[in-house]
Chains A and B, each alone.
Chain A
Amino acid sequence: MTELNTHTRIAITNVSRRGLLKGVIATGGLVLSAQFPAARGAMANTPYPTGAAGMPNGVVSDPKLFVSIASDGTVSIVAARAEMGTGAARTALPMIVADELDADWARVRVVQSPGDEKTYGNQDTDGSRSVRHWIQPMRQCGAAARAMLEAAAAKKWGVDASEVQAQLHEVVHKPTGRKLGYGELAADAAAEPVPAADKIKLKDPSAFRYIGKGTVRISDIVDITTGKAVYGQDVMLPGMKFAVVARPPVVGGKVASLDSSAAMKVPGVEKIMTLPGTPAPYKFGQLGGVAVVARSTWAALQGRDALKITWDDGPNKVYDSKAYKAQLEASVKKAGKVERNEGDVDKALASAAKVVTAEYYAPHIAHATMEPPAATARMSGGKWEVWAPVQSPGQARDDIAKAVGVKPEEMVLHTTLLGGGFGRKSKCDFAIEAALISKDLGGTPVKVVWTREDDLRHGFYHTVTAERFEAGLDAGNKVVAWRHRSAAPTILSTFEPDPKHPFDIELGMGWVDTPFNVPNIRQESGEAQSHVRIGWFRSVNNVAHAWSIQSFIAELAHELKRDPKDFLLEMIGPARIVDPRKSVTTPWWNYGEPFESYPIDTGRLRKVAELAAERAGWGKQLPKGQGLGIAAHRSFVSYIATVVHVEVSDKGAISIPRVDTAIDCGYCVHPERVRSQIEGAAVMGLTLAKHGEISFKNGAVEQSNFSDYPLVRIDEAPRETHTHIVEHGINVPASGVGEPGVPPFAPALCNAIFAATGKRLRRLPIGDQLA
């Protein structure tokens, strides 16, 4: 097993901001030893390897970096990752530190770090990795700080360290009951050496105050509910200008001609400039176009409306979603590139008693974060500062610095709160725009505001996909062959010359890891050329893979007149470890995690399916027009199953009285936030199933705002979502939460609709297909 101290391999800058010693206040008298919890460091805390060390710049656990204690006892804990709403970055991780530190959460302040991975380790808040990769180092960090406080107190009292114990913001001398507050010990503790990783004693989980309890509120709850919380759109600097950009309607397009005379006459408009675009592959680069700089956002918008631009659209003008759908569907009808092969599918299909075939199609979707992208930049005396709601602050700083031609060390990136991320704000194109415009203005502070139209028309879109299944049944109605072909433009095309086939990360997202108990399995990818910036959207390729696979399972169940839940369990098969490594053609990607810590355990997948079904009252009699549907899917190394109860009216209107989702995310650090994520995932899953579609005509996005890209509102949302968390001890590695709730929702819904109406939906969004 990898030792935890591999996590501390990154060079640490020792930035001690500890408060001054106020003086020792002698306390004494009370003997508290009877109240101490059981011995710490029991077997429960055996370290396990994760993919954290393999992430760029790894993880850091140095308490001198993450923890500082003021003389008044205020404990500041650094949040180095971005907070976009999961509660991981600014609540769960600092809470883990505070618990091991035995700090009083009421006296903890969370401080946001700048984007700087060399100092803080990996900051890429993506892939449902925050708790998964940081629970162990953050525990180490807090426990090390606690040990330093204890050592400082022991020295001060001249007693053996074994006689003292930290307890809720104080260190107590057990034999005498003397106490010293953390504030009183701060300066001395800061001078103590950080204990070696193998000397750090973690708490026994029974002594946790906050971890696993779900009682800690999100750190920004008061600021959010009073309007004080600052998102990227909210940054205000003295002398700041406001800018909007007219971007090419087609990716890769350029300005052919520009007449800005009318725009310059708009009161408040100060400057109009042409921004260069980024040649393909676009990566996170700016799209280019024409920037309008003004004294207010409103003036900038008016100015942009008055621009007269003709565009040279370039080669992506050919992109037409209707024609492209036909191309993808043709692609999956042909033999494709073999991505995984077990047994002999061709032979098994040829000799099958019956072959069941179905095809599915799901379109592009957009993230539509409630906060449209926005960023602010300024330069003064050669020093750059950027304020941006970015999911990967360290990477963004490097990319923005490169775009303006300075070293990363010459730029400070302040991570604001993110008004939603979902993968869109992993891409810092909007912040690069702000820096380029500020550079053109000689460093004047400028905020680039994206409107909703900009957001929907210039995104990094979730891929469009066609999926085709052929299942061969033997004479006894057992599934003996499973061929699944998929064609979808790849995310890799945004970064490299288009390979036209998926890469390992896409393959691993609920596709070649399909864990079914079928002897002959083959996955083949069809060719799919990209014409837009393909990006990742919450749970990524799992969305279409889970939707189509879990829908097809229910189709087979219907074909065989089997109960869909029983048949799903039969397909999953008995509890066992499934290892796709031996049958894939591209090295298998397990969400970046070592197989030993995060295998594919069908027992856990079965368990969530059974739990969700049981809690939903699977099998109960429902009135006409109502139905239950189930789906189970492993993603981000967590196991999730959802049962949707749907009611479909005579006119085809959908309402959802209840959703039951069971989640096995290993050890659960903050159950209340997990519930919140699952509730939200049901709504996002419903939006993508019911409404979500971004389509292209002549290379340009056809949608513009929430009028034609609707999101689910409160009146259509599931009325009740019940989350059932499978409980584990701390030795079961924590796994993803932010994303895994999304994939099973759409198939569970479509399966419920089938149960209610007999209508099978093979195309998303549902739209008016039930009308």
Chain B
Amino acid sequence: MTVPIQSGALISETSRHTLSSSRVRAPRGWMITTLAVAFIVCLPILSVLYVALFPEENIWPHLIDTVLPRYIRTTLQLLIGVGILTFVFGVTSAWLISMCRFPGRKLFEWALLLPFAVPAYVIAYVYTDMLEYSGWVQTGLRDWFGWQSARDYWFPEIRSLGGAILMLSLVLYPYVYMLSRAAFMEQSQSLLMASRSLGCSPWKSFWRVSLPVTRPAIAIGLTLVLLETLNDFGTVDYFAVQTLTQGLFDTWLNMGNIGGAAQIACCMLLFVCFFIWLERRSRARQKHYQSADRYKNLPRYHLKGLKAALATLFCLALITLGFLIPFYILANYAYQYFEQSFTSDFISHARNSFLLSGLAALATIAIGLILTYARRLNRHRAVRAVVAVSSLGYAMPGAVLAIGVLVPFAAFDNTLDGFLRQHFGVSSGLLLSGTLFAVLFAYVVRFLAVSAGALQAGLDQITPSMDMAAQSLGSRPTGVLFRIHIPLLRRSMVTAAIIVFVDCMKELPATLILRPFNFETLATHVHQYATHELIKESALGDLVIVGLGLIPVILLNRSMSSAKKGEQIQRL
């Protein structure tokens, strides 16, 4: 069965209004479930707000007088730098891969995803090891030129703001690449054909057609990048770059002022709200729905000579810098230290990481689906606001989020315990605190934005006429979800699940704070060495995190290319 869709329909504001008002109506059960889920997911954020509102001592006068302006300035510089670099890396490579032919394209198509498997703090360690004074690069240069000490020559300092921008961009650009490549491949062929037949050069049709049409996808990718950047702690800490996150931890751990730290976290949330507003705004004015002929392959520009060489070199450079070099260095250390590192404990840590991340990915997708579908069913402001707020967990540094989980869980446990003790003389102790459920919950809250973002983008591309057709054929909203949207969203769901899985594998601060007794994940296991600058001892663990991250990258690639063949439509 195929559903007739006007190809590449760009629907005007007025017609969209009539469409959405005649959409499938939301049944009450859905809305109640949605609100309940959203409320629970928002709890940690509300808790942080609560902690911020009742600090033990007002630290702001001191912060504003001394370090806060610098924290904010550095944070802005970092965000702008990473934003620009990931945009250039991600969009350029996605455009080259999806629209051009050049040597190595097929290989690069998936290899460009590889850096995604490398955690930012790992790449920071590896490059510092290589580029600092005693690293082989500078040692080699000194031998070559006969320099004696650091005072004889200039070499860029890797532990700097610029270094942090580069490190973060190298591992974060795949977000932009992934989302913009999917969008470039899904863009309406007829639009591009029209632009070409109207005399646009490839460059012009990129700027005037492809880029505007794929803007929502790029915006989502960039938003994810900026959020990751904002709450990165490992890299900025290692490079001593003074961002808001650093200030937050300083206020919390050195000044013992958790209220002040929560206030800085709220300050960071303002940044986040701004990004989200910007991203929403960028898509508010436009709607485009997928066309029936999207699965035909787009004719690609055939690059030759210098252009082809440049394209190949560009992709190769990204892969080498973002993946091959760190991977090689880690593999080398892991080999040297294999016997010390590979123990039976190590295997059980790996299993823990795998199970926990897998569960978190499933839960995150399920909840993401409930929320985004509710938003589609009911465009009421309140629903949209609730869905937006529930995504804020992504914007919080993991440790702050962990506090946000700790507060309501412990409050619930202790209240229940108090009640039972008072009335029944029994103690329930801690039911939620210090369990894996708490860790899992933190993961879901932390990464819900990733799944909701991807699912939202997928849902937005499904024309409302599908819903209407299904409704007129007698389907109820839940039926529409299971029979129309979930099959059509398969690709978005797989993508989202994979991203969440990999992110959970790398997650450190919340795991450290919330986990139960005698429980280690690979990330926490590696961390104990990393804090003592023992990069070699931690290499095997890092390598496994990177290696496991590769499996989803491969799956992701397969799902993306199989979907291209249009099997989903046929199955429908």
- Whether chain B is bound by chain A comes out as no
- Enumerate chain B interface residues (CB-CB to A < 8 A): none
- Enumerate chain A interface residues (CB-CB to B < 8 A): none
